[in-house]
Structure 1
Amino acid sequence: MNGTPQDTGPALDAALTRAAQAGDVSALALLLERHRPGMRAVAVSLLGPGPDVEDVMQDAALAALRRIVDVRDPDAVGPWLRMVVRNGCRTLLRTARRVEPVAQVPLPPDLGTPEQVLHDHALRDWVWEAVETLTPTLRLPVVLRYFSTGITSYQQIAGACAIPVGTVRSRLNQARSALARALTATAAGAHSDTLRRTQASWQEARDTLAAAERGEFGRVVKDRYSRDVSLLAGGRRLGGAELLLAGMDLDLSAGVHQRPLHVAAGRSLVVWEMELLSPPDDPDHCPPGVAWIMTVAAGRFERVSLHHATRPRTGPLPGAA
């Protein structure tokens, strides 16, 4: 029967999806509202009723915002949104079952160079613009949760930020609400520098490591880092520029090298996720990866917080037969 809501549903979904892919925030909001009951039903069926459902629903909304451009069949956006929720639930369930979180920085999938992956899956410029409106306290958990690749679980974020897991959950809830308002406020603006900034940060990460290999890390620190730069780990200040230089020299003298895996670059916060390569004769010398979490002020890095990935547990668990 022509003209029924069931007939017009897929067509409306397709129109809203194409509009959202073109940057229309209101179209994405309508899509999420249309499919919210089905998305929630998936979450409740996998998690049961409770606060985790709300977390997954909010994560799914932000995931849709980031990845709506990836939808190849606009008519099937409903199943795609339910799949996003299902994947979020499974991730949450896997994390909850772990006795000790695995924070290994993963290799990117074999989809081409990092620049090609970035080009294919770049966040819309106004998303980063909205993130920049958050307070620093809320901004860091959001960037790690949604824009990093190896520091995304509540436990990992808690370790990187040196705060309890419950505080991570609370700050992310606050940030999602603030981000939703900021996205609406910034959607109409043109913010075309995000892709350029991220590409430049990829190059800077490579150039920094290459300079360190040549013994020129001191020049990089002098040119790009604040004179009063702070080096932190676990939320504690360990020292300044001297310790930053000494740490790099110590790694290189031990035969440890770094390779960039992922970059997230805003105006005020930059995250470089690195693979750590141990020397061939000592493969367990260092953790598998490290994230450089850097705040930016007046064009210079003023705080560098290092978060090392933990080595995955090998062998039987304690108490196993």
Structure 2
Amino acid sequence: MAPFGPPSSDPSDEELTRRAQAGETGALGLLIARHQASMRAVALSLLGYGPDVDDAVQDASLTALRRIGDVRDGEAVGAWLRAIVRNACRMRLRAGHEVPGLDGLDQLRLGDDEGSQPERHIDRHAMRDWIWEAVEGLPQHLRLVLMLRHFSGITSYQAIADACEVPVGTVRSRLSHARAHMARALTETASQAHGDAAAVTEASRDEAVATLRAWDAGGLPREISELWPAESEMVGRLGRAGERVHPVPVMRHYLEDGVRQHVRHVVAGRDIAIWEMDVTHDGARHVCPPNLAWLMFRRNGRVERLRVVFPRPAQ
């Protein structure tokens, strides 16, 4: 009698690994789904019952997305996945609190250059688009903390809490919920077509550069002024409680005083954009911190709210 096993029509781990390394996101999603039960068993044995178990498995799954190119023996991919879970658990036990979570996403900043050894990784564009499609499926409040934590320079819990004007505990909770949503969404969307995430970010970077150039020149061309309709509102530190303030005069005020901003990094989705700026103020009446970030919330392509945040220096 033949040993019990999967139907012959099911692809083997070796075949799925080979397809995943060639850039097939559906194969990678199937591999992770196939081994998730054994990955969870490892996490339970090290962490005991509790929310850290699911977080560790989700973290390990996302690490596997980035590192699938490292696998040399496709038949042993299950053991490789379990080893990643063990490492994720040990990091949690050592670190205690501030664990980055989605390991490797910060290395997939949209628009960054490719690695020096592309043959060791699945296609970066395909993976970026897949990950970003899952990010876009999150509720806005979860999407914002995830974008800040893993795609921007505002990464500490305290800095994110300051930017979002919420307690640190809320940031931790939202990141935990975001990880859970991401793990499900990545599995569900693995075989779907994904939009060009880098193109969205590059278009936003072009807008940032054009906006600063236009404001410095004293006039907004039509394509830029359309980003800032009359209903746009400045909120947060540069806004005024109980009073609607339009962003354009506020930002122009600082420009006229000699403060200059220079685009350093941009990350953008369909309705949230983060423009990170370096700041110079030679001879300016106002002395600003050396960097700041614009958090923009958009509707139908236009800015609905702008919050300018001044990240604390990294400790």
TM-score normalised to structure 1 length: 0.68
Q: Distance in 1 between matches of 2:311 and 2:60?
A: 26
Asked whether the equivalents of residues 218 and 245 of structure 1 are also in contact (C-alpha less than 8 Å), the reply is no
Q: How big is the shift at 1:82?
A: 6.8
Q: Percent identity?
A: 36
Go from structure 1 to structure 2 and tell me whether the alpha carbon gap of 1:234 and 1:168 turns closer, same or farther (over 3 Å shift).
Answer: farther
Deviation at 1:228, TM superposition (A): 0.8
Tell me whether 300-309 or 22-31 shows the greater mean CA deviation: 22-31
For structure 1, list consecutive stretches of 5 or more residues without a partner in the other structure.
Answer: 1-10, 97-107, 314-321
State the alpha-carbon separation in 1 of the partners of residues 221 and 234 from structure 2: 15
Aligned to 1:61: 61
* Matching residue's letter, 2:20: A
Deviations 1:287-315 (A, max 9, x none): 122121111211211111222112467xx
Is 1:117 matched up with 2:113?
yes
Residue in structure 2 matched with residue 207 of structure 1 by the alignment: 210
Q: Which amino acid aligns with 2:295?
A: I
Question: C-alpha separation between the residues in 1 aligned to 2:30 and 2:192?
Answer: 14
Q: For the Cα contact (< 8 Å) 1:275–1:288, is it kept in 2?
A: yes
Name the structure 2 match of 1:128. Answer: 132
CA gap 1:300/1:63 in 2 versus in 1, 3 angstroms: farther
Look up the SS of the partner of 1:258 in the other structure.
strand
**Amino acid corresponding to residue 58 of structure 2 in structure 1:** Q
Kept in 2, the 8 Å contact 1:125–1:194? The answer is yes
What is the alpha-carbon distance in structure 1 between the residues aligned to residue 277 and residue 293 of structure 2?
6
In structure 1, distance between residues paired with 2:64 and 2:244 = 40
| CA shift digits 1:122-150 (9 cap, x unpaired) | 453232222222222222222222222x2
Check 1:233–1:83 CA distance in 2 against 1; reply closer, same or farther (3 A cut): farther
Aligned residue for 1:182?
Answer: 185
Cα separation, 1, equivalents of 2:87 and 2:220: 42
Contact preservation (8 Å) 1:141, 1:168: yes
User: Is the Cα–Cα contact under 8 Å of residues 234 and 307 in structure 1 kept in the other structure?
Assistant: yes
Unpaired stretches in structure 2, ≥5 consecutive residues: 1-11, 100-105, 119-123
Matched residues in 2 for 1:40 and 1:146: separation?
26
2:278 paired residue among 268, 275, 278: 275
Q: Assess, with a 3 A threshold, how the Cα gap between structure 1 residues 259 and 135 changes in structure 2: closer, same or farther.
A: same
Q: Distance in 2 between matches of 1:264 and 1:288?
A: 20
2:236 to 233, 238, 257: 233
Tell me how far apart the structure 2 counterparts of residues 72 and 38 of structure 1 sit (CA, whole Å): 23
Partner of 2:7: none
Give the structure-2-normalised TM-score.
Answer: 0.69
Cα 1:196–1:278 change in 2 (3 A) is same
Identify which of 290, 293, 307 aligns with 1:305: 307
Determine if contact 2:33/2:187 at 8 Å carries over to the other structure.
Answer: no
Aligned residue-pair number: 278
- Residue in 2 aligned with 1:316? none
8 Å CA contact 2:145, 2:160 repeated in 1: yes
Contact 1:17 1:31 in 2 (8 A): no
Pair 1:16-2:17 in alignment: yes
Q: Distance in 2 between matches of 1:235 and 1:136?
A: 22
* 2:6 paired residue number: none
Going from structure 1 to structure 2, the CA distance change for 1:87 and 1:218 (only over 3 Å counts) comes to farther
Secondary structure of 2:229's match? strand
Q: 1:200 to 1:274 in 2, by over 3 A?
A: same
C-alpha separation in 1, matches of 2:279 and 2:44: 40
Tell me the residue number matched to 1:102: none
SS at match of 2:265: strand
2:71 matched to which residue of 1?
74
- Write the distance in 1 (CA, Å) between the matches of 2:72 and 2:43: 16
- 1: CA distance, partners of 2:69 / 2:303: 39
In structure 2, the CA distance between the partners of 1:144 and 1:235, relative to structure 1 (3 Å rule), is farther
Q: Structure 2 vs 1, CA of residues 247 and 92 (structure 1 numbering), >3 Å: closer, same or farther?
A: farther
* Residues 167 and 116 of structure 1, relative CA distance in 2, 3 Å threshold: closer
Pair 1:143-2:147 in alignment = yes
User: 2: CA distance between counterparts of 1:274 and 1:86?
Assistant: 36
Residue in 2 that maps onto 1:152:
155
RMSD across aligned positions (CA)? 4.1
- Corresponding residue SS for 1:309: coil
Aligned to 1:290: 292
CA contact (8 A) 1:13 1:74 kept: no
Residue 13 of structure 1 contacts residue 75 of structure 1 at CA under 8 Å; is this kept in 2?
no
